[in-house]
Structure 1
Amino acid sequence: MFILLHLFLECLGQTQTFLNLDIGIHILQTLQATSEPNSKIIVKLEQKIFDSTQLLICDSEITLLKENCIQDINSFDLKKNTQIVQLVYGLKLEKYQEQLLSMKQLNEYPQVIGTYSKQISNFSITISTMNILECASQCQNNGICQNGMCECLEGYFGADCSIIALDITVESQYHKNAFYYFNIKECNQQSCSLNIQFNQVGKYRQTCYAENWYLLQQNVIEKKEIKIIDVQSCLQNIKNQKLNPKQFSYYIFYFETECENSQQSINQDTRSILIIVITTVGVSISLCCCIICYYFFFRRRKEEHQILPTMPIYPKTEIQRYLPKQVYKSLIIQYPGLTSTDECLICLDKIRDSDYVRLTYCTHIFHIQCIDNWLEKNRICPACRSELDEVTLIKVAKQKKNDSLIYENKVSRLYGDMGTPNLTMTPQLRSVEMTQRL
């Protein structure tokens, strides 16, 4: 037996609360047609906790078959706490208005407002009027109300843009009880298709959003794939109903089970392998570069240590032997040809008469401290780059000695003993002196 409850609200906008209603059909109010222009009646059912109560507005009477009734099917299927039905007068309704916006024509037949529940229910009913261009519920997720309907951004659906969906072409894992969409608005000029393979048999529902707005009323499909060969028929429905293609050019999918896109998995595996290979090659190259740099660095350090030992290359005793310490004034008196050199080419200071200097075999004069510090790190003359290593100095010294002996023998034969030449003189200076004497 149906339990009938006739409650007539005194005026629109009043909210009536119903507590602990028994299971079955409950008739709450009967509405007659109104001639108020540009307005619509909003009937809203609200619950604190969803308990399977369904709001119904029917012609004349309510039956279990729900014939000639309108209801907010999407909100009920998604177990929302609020259901809204809109009644309009003198307006020809399109299919999307009946299904998506839950609209019903308020004609000459009395409209019965009631509910059907499978268990004891608690809810409140609010009846109000609203301008026909206003939206019955507030648009969510940045949706915009246009001509009584919320225009949603891509990825949001429903009468109030509260249903969130993900792009099915970029996801690799499809979750249970989740929505996904395929955007076909780019297929206007050419035919396009969708083909997704699963790793296992999946259960899902699919619908062209321009054909059917009851998102969970479609038959469950059990396959290992989603295959839509042509989407032109879905696009044609958008043109036929003069819908906004930006909002309705979608295929919408709802998954009943967890599914995995095998193609995306392969691509991800390929990308992972590629990343691992690139990383491995990069690390190997970096390691090789480090080893090479390490090798050349220590090899250079070793060579530097060979060139620049901790102890001076030329001990002072050796320097004094081959490049003896002399007073600059005495050196100039002894060799007047050196007067053109009056500054140290290391510190660039002028050499005073009392300064101690050293004269190289290449006839360059330096402060004694400057040349000593230089020879601790270098093997060449700072002025002309002549070799000043120990081997060269010994060789030059021997050559000087031989030149001196030859000169002494010549002088002895010609003039007798005229004294021993100074061995510290360079070959160039000795040649000048020999020419003058001869």
Structure 2
Amino acid sequence: MSTISPSMPSGAETLADRAVESTRSWKAPVAFAVFTVVALVFFVLLGRDGSATFRLANAGDFVQLPDVQLPATGTGITVTVLLALATVYAFVQANGYRRIPLWVTSVFAVLFVVGFLTWAAAGATIPLPGLLVGALGLSVPLVFGALGGVISERVGVVNIAIEGQFLAGAFVSAMIGSLTGSAWVGLVGALVAGVLVSFVLATFSIKYLVDQVIVGVVINAFISGLTGFLYSQVLSPAEQTLNVGIRFPVLPIPVLHQIPVIGPVFFEQNVIVYLAYIAVAVVTFALFKTRWGLRLRAVGEHPQAADTVGINVLSTRFWNVSLAGAIAGLGGAYFTLGSVGPFAKDMTAGAGYIALAAVIFGRWDPIRATLAALLFGFASNLQNVLGSINSPVPSEFLLMLPYVVTIFAVAGLVGQSRGPAASGKPYIKS
């Protein structure tokens, strides 16, 4: 039996972390420098006159906060100077073979967003609660998908099939919810659909040793075609019975939902959003503080060593990939039961791949991956808000904004990182 404490990292992880820290990476400092130059050009050299107004409270909030006005020119200069200082700090850290703390990257991102919003909304008003509520709504399925991806990759299986699990969960939840008239039954159906898709991924990649990336891509294409065919041939002709659009109602948490800014964002949501909060906390605790999490991480880092202490590697991988599929299925249910209601063909629109990017950006950590999902959701909703206030940003750029943020985040801001050592590698018992 293993005597390693569940709360302690495995030896493989410790050695890997030390190896990462001994490698000088300029990716993050260079990314900082690029964003600083962009800020200098747009916020200062191409600065706009006037002020941007940020509305902080809704009419029903317990405390009515006053609007905040930020001058576009002054804010742009201040933000650019602070970004430049953060960039210098990032280069110093990288030159000394030290990691850039997460809080530095977070503050850098917040400063850039503030500067960008002030520049883009000069002379207009941005309802901050509405912006954040929409961002959270778009982030929820990404959070579920990212959690499923973290579990799957931590146990050693690359989960490219998150998109297929989203689609299956959305389709089944809409159909079963419509047939039974119960959103709860539809939610259970989404869980089962996600597990079934994961069974296919696990069977081919773990039992038959097929390349995991290829299996995931094929599953996504198959589920997309299957749900599209069933939608046109089954759901559309019988929309009044099979695709009614059952949704969970909004359940405001008393008192808390009246807190300015954060109240409407976090505490005036539906059941699936609250389940996302619980899922993040449970997965984070279980992954690093329980025997289950220790075994899962051991299988993903060094399956041979895990096998020698009595852990069934293949069984552990199979059932945890299935669990990851169930969690991703909940994300799929949000597209229907928690958002628009009826199912539509390919309604996930590639969200599964963005969730996979959140896993990488979050360095295979549940909390970091959740923050990355929130960032991508914010970028997606930002295009809607900026479009509504007639900002000078071209509409074509607004449409590609979420994907630009995804590319920069994964390619630039991650810096030097590594995934679980055995992720993507089939295990053959010797």
Please indicate, yes or no, whether the TM-score normalized by the shorter chain is above 0.5: no
Which of the two has greater helix per residue? 2
Higher strand share: 1
TM-score, normalised with respect to structure 1: 0.19
State the structure with more CA Rg. Answer: 1
Q: Which has the higher contact order (CA 8 A, sep 6+)?
A: 2
